[in-house]
Structure formats: C-alpha cells, structure tokens
Amino acid sequence: MKPLPLFRTIRIGTRGSKLARWQSDWVAGELRKLGNEVEIIEIATKGDVQQQGSVASLGIQGLFTKEIQTAVLQGRVDLAVHSLKDLPTRQVAGLALAATPPREDPADALVTNKAGTLADLPSGARVGTGSLRRRAQLLHLRPDLEVVGIRGNVDTRLRKLDEGEYDAIVLAAAGLERLGWGDRIKERLSPPRMLAAPGQGALGIECREDDGEAIELMRRLDDLPTRLGVTAERTLLGALDGGCSAPIAAWGRVTDGRLLVDALVADVEGRRVLRAGKVAELPRAGDLVERAAEVGRIVAGELLEQGAAELIAAARG
C-alpha cells in the first residue's frame, strides 16, 4: 500500500490514561508509517474528572468521549481515538467514524491473587467491576460472589486489588495485553461463556465528516471484518436503547464469509438472562456494512420479543 501523507501535522485528541495513550500512540505510529507528522493532544473528559459513583449511575452519554469529540468539531484536533466500547452509538452530527482498526481479543479477564479460575474463588469473594454487564454475568455464573463497584484506570484498579480491597477484579483482556499486563490474567472469560460489551477490544477513530483528506487516510487503518462485527454489535445496542446503563452484551465476528452475532440482555442480579443470535451469509456485492447493521437489528428484535425492554427499564431504575 502506497503512503498517503497529508500536507499538515495530524493532531490526535485522546484521554490521558495509560491505555488511552497506548491506543493513540499506536494510531500515531501507523500514521507515521504512511509518511505523516503527528501530534498527540491530551484532553480530560468528564469520566476522567468525575471518579465518584459507577459509570451506569452517572447516566451521562459520552462520559469518556464528549470533550474529545467537541475538540474535533472545533478544529482543535483532527482525529479522536476512542475505546469503541466507550463511544455512544448515536453518531454526533458533523463527525464520522472513519476507521475501526483490527480488533484485539474482546474477552473479559479475571485478575486475582487468590485463585486460578473463577470457579476456584471462595464463596463470598469480593469481585470488583464497574460494569453492570459483567456484574450480571458473573452473578449468573456464581451467585454466591459479592460483586461490587470499582472505578479508576487499569493501573488504579490493579493497585486496589493488590492492596486487598478486592479478592478479584474483571477487566478487558485487550487493555491488559496492550499495557503489558497480560501476565496478570488468571482466566479469560471468553465468549460465549461471557459476552463482552459491544465494541470491546476495538478502537474507533473519528474525524470531521467534511475532512475528506483525513477520511481517505483513515481508510488505510480500517479493518473490514472488525467494522462488520462492531457495526452489528453497536446497531444492536442502539436498537435496544441500551448504553452503559443496562446489562447488554454482544459478540459479532466474521468467519468463513459469514457474520455471526450472539447477544444477551440480563437483569442486574443475573437471575434472568435473555439470549439471541444469528448466522448471516455476507453478500458478494452490495453494502456489507448495512448488512451487518441489519443483522444487529434482527438480533435486537429477537431480544425485545423475549422481554428485553422490561429488563433494560428495570436496570435504569
């Protein structure tokens, strides 16, 4: 692939956490390989500043993205690099999701100093997670656990674990691997045993929709199988009107020319879990992304027919 440099320094907006900087540094490195000058600009988001309370309880769309998106719209930066699971499904007017690079492992990971697996944790073990989705699935698998909230960056959560505040914590495997902490993973809670958040393990790169040069450049970083999988997941999440305030999980992937999607909606205590899935052939011609979105809507419809709206409403209180 030929280099495609722009005639300007590309400014990347990012959160300042170690994981966010790793992600932005990776994008910057890819852009430099294509002959571009790059500058990284750190931007604090409301989610970084407001550390009290769970993410779900804050109930704020774009908790970790809004300020960076605003910087793109105002022309202070050219690109925003997000963890795709943090990016709301409703597209902000004036912005385009220009690239979804190859996805890392979407699995959740158990980190603990007291056991080798989830099954080995003693009854009543205190497990930390900031995710209602993880909470519900953990309690469905192990209703005898005490699942409690935790906030902070990956290193902060690991420190709290090591200081004894928790017996175990659950984090995204991709984040641990990217930061060089893969050896802390005691067990991968891989799908279908536990389904991840829509977009988990993937990056989302946004730019202004009228910035044709940047959009063309971002196409060099886009990975079609990743795009199709996360499109199905995010469309499903949007169709359920879920966000981070309900236990919703989805897993989309391309295998042998087919798009496979599995999803679930649960109550927050993990007592009731609704599941749906679909295997769809991908057409040889036509809009593959729209086909992926259609599959996401179909699976969401199956969940709604089972009563998902009731569980989502109850989770929101």
Q: Give the model's pLDDT for residue 1.
A: 55
Are 279 and 298 part of one and the same domain?
yes
User: In which band, very low, low, confident or very high, does the pLDDT at 45 lie, cut at 50, 70 and 90?
Assistant: confident
Q: Give the model's pLDDT for residue 284.
A: 84
Question: What would the mean pLDDT of 155-161 be, rounded to a whole number?
Answer: 96
Q: Give the model's pLDDT for residue 151.
A: 87
Question: What would the mean pLDDT of 162-169 be, rounded to a whole number?
Answer: 98
Question: What would the mean pLDDT of 260-281 be, rounded to a whole number?
Answer: 97
4 in any annotated domain: no
Q: Give the model's pLDDT for residue 58.
A: 41
Are 95 and 161 part of one and the same domain?
no
User: In which band, very low, low, confident or very high, does the pLDDT at 210 lie, cut at 50, 70 and 90?
Assistant: very high
Are 40 and 115 part of one and the same domain?
no
What is the pLDDT of the chain when averaged over all its residues? 92
Question: What would the mean pLDDT of 299-305 be, rounded to a whole number?
Answer: 98
- Which of these, 239, 230, 246, lies nearest to 316 by C-alpha position? 246
Are 70 and 143 part of one and the same domain?
no
Question: What would the mean pLDDT of 237-256 be, rounded to a whole number?
Answer: 92
Give me the domain span that covers residue 295: 235-316
- Which of these, 1, 24, 22, 5, lies nearest to 14 by C-alpha position? 24
Q: Which residues pair with 39 in a beta bridge?
A: 11
Question: What would the mean pLDDT of 32-46 be, rounded to a whole number?
Answer: 92
Cβ atoms < 10 Å from Cβ of 105: 18
> What's the CATH number where 145 sits?
3.40.190.10
Are 83 and 153 part of one and the same domain?
no
Q: Give the model's pLDDT for residue 245.
A: 76
Q: pLDDT, tens digit, for every residue of 92-139?
A: 999 999 999 999 999 999 999 999 999 999 999 999 999 999 999 999
Are 40 and 93 part of one and the same domain?
yes
pLDDT of residue 53 exceeding 70, the answer is no
pLDDT of residue 71 exceeding 90, the answer is yes
Q: Give the model's pLDDT for residue 62.
A: 58
Q: Give the model's pLDDT for residue 106.
A: 97
Question: What would the mean pLDDT of 72-83 be, rounded to a whole number?
Answer: 96
Task: Please report, to the nearest 10 degrees, the dihedral formed by the alpha carbons of residues 127, 130, 131, 134 taken in order.
Answer: -10
Are 91 and 210 part of one and the same domain?
yes
**Among 25, 78, 86, 267, the one annotated catalytic:** 86
The two tokens of residue 162 are 């090591």
This prediction has a pTM of 0.91
Are 207 and 83 part of one and the same domain?
yes
User: In which band, very low, low, confident or very high, does the pLDDT at 316 lie, cut at 50, 70 and 90?
Assistant: confident
> What's the CATH number where 263 sits?
3.30.160.40
168-172 and 126-128 as β-strands: parallel, antiparallel, unpaired?
Answer: parallel
Across the beta sheet with 10-14, the strand order is 38-42, 10-14, 79-83, 203-208, 95-99
Q: How far apart are CA 77 and CA 306, in angstroms?
A: 44
Q: Which amino acid is at 261?
A: V
Does 210 participate in catalysis according to the annotation? no
5 in any annotated domain: no
Report phi then psi at 142, rounded to 5: -140, 80
User: In which band, very low, low, confident or very high, does the pLDDT at 47 lie, cut at 50, 70 and 90?
Assistant: low
Report phi then psi at 32, rounded to 5: -65, -35
Q: Which residues pair with 244 in a beta bridge?
A: none
Q: Give the model's pLDDT for residue 64.
A: 72
Question: What would the mean pLDDT of 179-207 be, rounded to a whole number?
Answer: 97
Q: Give the model's pLDDT for residue 3.
A: 60
- Contact residues for 136 (Cβ-Cβ < 8 A; gap 6+): 247, 266, 267, 268, 269, 270, 273
Query: Is there a contact between 79 and 197 (Cβ–Cβ < 8 Å)?
Result: no
Are 127 and 168 part of one and the same domain?
yes
Report phi then psi at 157, rounded to 5: -65, -40
pLDDT of residue 204 exceeding 80, the answer is yes
Are 206 and 62 part of one and the same domain?
yes
Q: In b/e form, how buried is each residue of 12-46, taking b as 16+ CB within 10 angstroms?
A: bbbbebbbbbebbeebbeebeebebebebeebebe
pLDDT of residue 54 exceeding 50, the answer is no
pLDDT of residue 282 exceeding 90, the answer is yes
Q: Give the model's pLDDT for residue 174.
A: 97
273 in any annotated domain: yes
Report phi then psi at 86, rounded to 5: -85, -15
User: Where does 10-81 have alpha helices with state H?
Assistant: 18-33, 46-49, 55-58, 66-73
Instruction: Average the pLDDT over each of 21-35, 38-52, 144-158, 161-175 and give the range with the smallest value.
Output: 38-52
Give me the number of domains the chain comprises: 3
